[in-house]
Amino acid sequence: MHTIDALISPQGSLDILTLEEINQLHKSASTGLHELFRQCCLAILNCGTEEDDIEALLQRNKQFDVEVVPQTRGVLLQLNNAPISAFVDGEIILGIKENLYSVLRDIIYLNNSLLHNDESHTGTQLTALVFQILRHAQALAPRRKPNIVVCWGGHSIKTVEYDYTKKVGYDLGLRGYDICTGCGPGAMKGPMKGAHIAHAKQRCHDYRYIGITEPGIIAAESPNPMVNELIIMPDIEKRLEAFVRLGHAFIVFPGGVGTAEEILYLLGILLHPKNDQLTVPLIFTGPTSAKAYFEQIDAFIGATLGAKAQSKYQIIIEDPSAVAIAIKAKMEDVVEHRQKVGDAYHYNWQLHIEEDFQRPFIPTHTNMADLKLESSLPTATLASNLRKAMSGIVAGNVKTFGLEQIRLHGPYQLKAEAEMLNKLDVLLQSFVAQDRMKLPGSKVYQPCYTVS
């Protein structure tokens, strides 16, 4: 494997730092946070590599390392044995360089500046923390009318589904919408790629392709090359809250457990009575071949969360233009509502989120087994617990922590009442059968969970 050594100069929001900040960055990046920082930088340098095997990536790049070099004018990054694919004629690709400094900003700088006593924060304080992280990443645009469309969907999708996401992105781009995704491949890349062509046609110069990720998943889903604003939230819960606070409308493409987690998170929030009057457009869409997939998702939601949850979204099959037209109409409602109640365009402060949706869920075997999955639970509680179950399976599939848990203790055990068991098992088995759990490869997918 060809590698290269390089010294990278500052880029982005860390151009200007105090000497104390520079010393803190150097110290943190050299001690406790170093391995996490190294893994995230490696993921950035492998931008565009469509694989989700973090262990294989780390094994191939055992010699790679990164060092923060303090300078009075800022900080430099010394890359040793970096993948040569991130360079052109010995110069690092600019987008990759920007994203490397996003890693430094969000992994090291934020840990020094903001992330203290997180577990003692109230829900209101956690929402303010998400705001501060987004503000520090310069992701908030207060003088810009609502136009951020969050696109969720799987990293492991069929070609016909990927092509469809590009068509939807194209129709959104023609109408001037910015795209926000989880920053990886598949349904996270397609809408950005389609929108980019449309933005070029419309001569848009300030388009935004926002990628929101978190440390546990970034190495398994390296940022796709379209992302021009990378934000690394501290954990999955803050990542999800960042999506719903920053986004103005939501589109769901076919996906697996990660997509199911996102759906359950948003629906669980929208089902709270305090959010009944809010305008949050939500559309499920895909090509004709995905019709059965969405019918199954819809049936699962109806059987677990009820008809009110089903009323929160619209399903559109094989009609990209209809999706974009619906988003445009609903976006006008978003503008009208926020003007009426005086809420900010750039951050959805009025959306009420219960603390159970905000507290980090650690997918240990004990925590997974202790999840209550019963139809007698309050709807929001059931949505939250189902979301946590999906989050744990994502961890067991692709995250370093989850992979290590499975290696040490075997598959997670989910316990559910008989009726819930059948609904959950059917949904998960369909994800396995359709290769939606991981990217297809030489290895047959081994479930990281059992349902009993």
| pLDDT on residue 280 | 95
Q: How are beta strands 449-451 and 412-414 bridged, if at all?
A: parallel
User: Percentage of the chain with pLDDT > 90?
Assistant: 61
Q: Where are the alpha helices (DSSP H) in 78-152?
A: 94-103, 110-113, 123-136
| Predicted confidence (pLDDT) per residue in 158-188, tens digit | 999 999 999 999 999 999 999 999 998 999 9
Burial of 34 (C-beta count, 10 Å sphere; 0-12/13-18/19+): middle
Instruction: Assess whether 314 and 201 both reside in one domain.
Output: yes
What is the rounded CA–CA span in Å between residue 280 and residue 270? 8
Instruction: Assess whether 101 and 11 both reside in one domain.
Output: yes
| Predicted confidence (pLDDT) per residue in 436-447, tens digit | 887 666 577 888
Phi-psi region of 74 (alpha: psi -120 to 50; beta: other; left: phi over 0): left
Average pLDDT of the chain to the nearest whole number: 89
Instruction: Assess whether 340 and 383 both reside in one domain.
Output: yes
| pLDDT on residue 70 | 79
Q: Which residues pair with 7 in a beta bridge?
A: 78
pLDDT surpasses 90 at 68 = no
pLDDT surpasses 70 at 25 = no
| pLDDT on residue 49 | 65
- Give the closest residue to 219 by CA, choosing from 93, 49, 40: 40
| pLDDT on residue 11 | 62
What is the rounded CA–CA span in Å between residue 228 and residue 97? 11
| pLDDT on residue 119 | 66
Residue at which a domain ends, from 113, 134, 154: 113
Instruction: Assess whether 191 and 298 both reside in one domain.
Output: yes
| pLDDT on residue 37 | 85
Instruction: Assess whether 349 and 313 both reside in one domain.
Output: yes
Residue of 113 and 420 predicted with greater confidence: 420
Instruction: Assess whether 309 and 351 both reside in one domain.
Output: yes
What is the rounded CA–CA span in Å between residue 69 and residue 18? 14
Mean pLDDT of 130-150: 93
Q: By three-state DSSP, how is residue 71 classified?
A: strand
pLDDT surpasses 60 at 13 = no
Mean pLDDT of 94-107: 88
- Give the closest residue to 396 by CA, choosing from 356, 433, 452, 445: 445
- Give the closest residue to 279 by CA, choosing from 312, 328, 304: 312
pLDDT surpasses 70 at 134 = yes
| pLDDT on residue 440 | 64
Instruction: Assess whether 338 and 369 both reside in one domain.
Output: yes
Q: How many domains does the chain have?
A: 2
Q: Is residue 255 within 8 Å of residue 157, measured between CB atoms?
A: yes
| Predicted confidence (pLDDT) per residue in 243-260, tens digit | 999 999 999 999 999 999
Instruction: Assess whether 206 and 67 both reside in one domain.
Output: no
| Residue 446 identity (one-letter amino acid) | Q
User: Percentage of the chain with pLDDT > 70?
Assistant: 89
Residue 271's domain comprises: 121-452
Q: Is residue 387 within 8 Å of residue 261, measured between CB atoms?
A: yes
The CATH number that applies at residue 109 is 3.30.1850.10
Confidence of residue 335 (pLDDT cuts 50, 70, 90): very high
Instruction: Assess whether 86 and 140 both reside in one domain.
Output: no
What is the rounded CA–CA span in Å between residue 334 and residue 348? 11
Instruction: Assess whether 249 and 294 both reside in one domain.
Output: yes
Instruction: Assess whether 225 and 147 both reside in one domain.
Output: yes
Tokens of 414: 């989910």
Distances (CA, A) of 334 to 148, 228, 278, 341: 11, 25, 8, 11
Residue identified by tokens 């609502």 is: 146
Mean pLDDT of 204-225: 87
pLDDT surpasses 80 at 303 = yes
Residue identified by tokens 């669980």 is: 268
| Residue 235 identity (one-letter amino acid) | D
Instruction: Assess whether 296 and 419 both reside in one domain.
Output: yes
| pLDDT on residue 452 | 82
Residue of 25 and 424 predicted with greater confidence: 424
| pLDDT on residue 326 | 97
| pLDDT on residue 250 | 98
Mutual angle of helices 418-433 and 379-398, in 10-degree steps? 40
pLDDT surpasses 80 at 43 = yes
The CATH number that applies at residue 133 is 3.40.50.450
What is the rounded CA–CA span in Å between residue 272 and residue 282? 16
What is the rounded CA–CA span in Å between residue 425 and residue 300? 11
Distances (CA, A) of 139 to 13, 136, 229, 272, 347: 11, 8, 8, 27, 10
Residue at which a domain ends, from 91, 113, 135: 113
What is the rounded CA–CA span in Å between residue 347 and residue 366? 36
Q: How are beta strands 148-152 and 3-8 bridged, if at all?
A: unpaired
Residue at which a domain ends, from 113, 145, 171: 113
